Amino acid sequence: MTGSDGAAAASERATLRRIDALKVVDTAAVLARRIRERFPGSGLAKIAEELHAITRESAARTEWLRRPNWGLRIVAAVLVTALLTVVASTLVRVGLPNKVASFQELVQLLESGVNDVVFIGIAVFFVTSLEARRKRARALDWIDELRSLAHIVDMHQLTKDPDRVQEGRVDTPSSPKVALTRVELARYLDYCSELLSVTSKVAALYAQDFGDGVLLAAVNEIENLTAGLSRKIWQKIMILDRVADPREGE
């Protein structure tokens, strides 16, 4: 294998080990189009369009998370430098004692020094973590957006039960009206599962290049949520495969 072939193979492996934001956008676009064509004007089609819009925004959002914020970094560097300069000048001005008169003075000196080091360390950490905390806050807002969308998808599939197309069912005045055949209902539920899957992939994009522990935990919550909701949907689909719809024989 030549050097160029090895580089190409390494590049391909790197691509396969990352989620491509543009591919997620394309997947969401195709899914929205499929839902719109099969269920035009439906609430699910509107949700799919909204998810497609979010995936388009996610490409720019992930780039913002990955790109260094040089403004905040310069401000942090200036503040840290100023803080350390003040501390150094204070030590030079006050001076260190040439000798310690007693053990008690030594303990007091060490205690004061430790406290100063701790407070300085906290101040430095606060300043240097400004960029990460700002990005984390924005990313968590985007994760909450996805969490809400997942629950909305769940609300749409909530009344889509297999017994809605079962022969001999008895409805009450408050029973949900589902005018779908068995095949249409199966496709509707399958689309809901696909929407949840794309939602979890968008969440994973936010954590892909921003290794923050709090954000990773939030992404894991989204993945667990969408996986749990998808399991409920596929249980319905499996039951639906065994249900006979009298309208299919008409």
Confirm if 69 and 134 have CB atoms less than 8 A apart: yes
Residue ranges of the chain with per-residue pLDDT less than 70: 1-16, 72-73, 83-84, 86-128, 164-172, 174-176, 178, 243-250
For the record, the structure tokens of 157 come out as 């599939």
Distance CA 83, CA 93 (A): 15
pLDDT given at position 250: 46
Confirm if 202 and 146 have CB atoms less than 8 A apart: yes
**Residue 121, CA atoms < 13 Å, CB-side half-sphere:** 6
H/E stretch holding 115: helix 103-128
Q: Which residue has the tokens 């008895």?
A: 170
Confirm if 230 and 193 have CB atoms less than 8 A apart: yes
pLDDT given at position 101: 58
